[in-house]
Amino acid sequence: MKTIVMADPVRFPRMTTAELRESFLHNTLYEPGKINFNYVVDADRVAIGMAAPVDTPITLPAYPQLRAAYFTERRELGALNIGGNGIIKVGGKSYDLNNLDVLYIGRGNAEVNFESKDKINPAVFYLLSYPAHAVYPVALVRKEEANPTELGSAENCNHRTIYKYIYLEGARSCQLVMGVTHLHPGSSWNTLPAHTHDRRTEIYMYFNLPENARVIHLMGAPDETRHLIMANRDVVSSPVWSIHAGVGTQAYSFCWGMGGENQVYSDMDPAPVESMR
């Protein structure tokens, strides 16, 4: 597990592209046959990871940074399958996850294992974890059971469908909120008009991007924006003072996840396009 400290809004405007990528981008998490995590201490202590089992199961480790007997001793975990069919075993129970299914794993589950059903088309589990002070039960949410909301329009290049998995009216959690947005063909913009929210951090993981496609992710204070060029399965962390929006070279999907003080999905501070710089 790599520990990352993000830049503050004072240092941010003076950073080079390389410094921005080192501070906010997570682009080395996916590794076939391995599990990798980054630990962002100043973003509500979020742990961002990917487990990509192929031939053999992968066990969720107890990383030294957590100072815990096991990973979820004081944490909750959301797992989104962005690959082939897989299995997550929590304690003595197995959960089958198809593509785009999500499993919520609450605090206090000592044994968590990840498996693929087919090594030719292996599962890839995107993992997002925040500290938890309350215990909620393990919950499997199928893509078909997620709450869809259609937003935007083709005219504005942002026609998209949002699926909510872990949220107040769905699978319950202590502070984790997690869902997926799919852009419709011909659309490329996400989360515009942009927003910030002082009460929680947000993490974006872009996926369903071809090898030669990219997303230009906008970030920073609304009046001091910068950008990152992101590829398939890249992840970006957004501090509370930063917007999080982007445009792709073609349609794509992204997983949005949040943790912090407030779980209300609509809790946002708008940043109108006219005010952005």
Name residues whose C-beta falls within 8 Å of residue 17's C-beta, 6 or more positions apart in sequence.
none
Class for domain 2-275, per CATH?
mainly beta
Question: Which residue spans within 152-252 are E strands per DSSP?
Answer: 160-166, 177-183, 189-190, 194-196, 200-207, 215-221, 224-230, 235-238, 243-248
- The H-or-E segment that residue 24 falls in is helix 17-24
- Confidence (pLDDT) at 200: 87
- Confidence (pLDDT) at 67: 95
Can you count the helices (H) and strands (E) in the chain?
1, 24
Q: How far is Cα 233 from Cα 178, in angstroms, rounded to an integer?
A: 16
- Confidence (pLDDT) at 10: 94
- Confidence (pLDDT) at 175: 95
244, 236 in Cβ contact below 8 A? yes
Q: Please, what sign has the CA dihedral across residues 51, 240, 5, 72?
A: negative
114, 63 in Cβ contact below 8 A? no
- What residue ranges of the chain have pLDDT lower than 70? none
Q: How far is Cα 6 from Cα 12, in angstroms, rounded to an integer?
A: 9
- Confidence (pLDDT) at 43: 78
Length of the chain equals: 277
Q: How far is Cα 204 from Cα 234, in angstroms, rounded to an integer?
A: 8
Would you kindly state where each structural domain of the chain is located, as residue ranges?
A: 2-275
Dump pLDDT digits (tens) for 169-217: 999 999 999 999 999 999 999 998 899 998 889 999 999 999 999 999 9
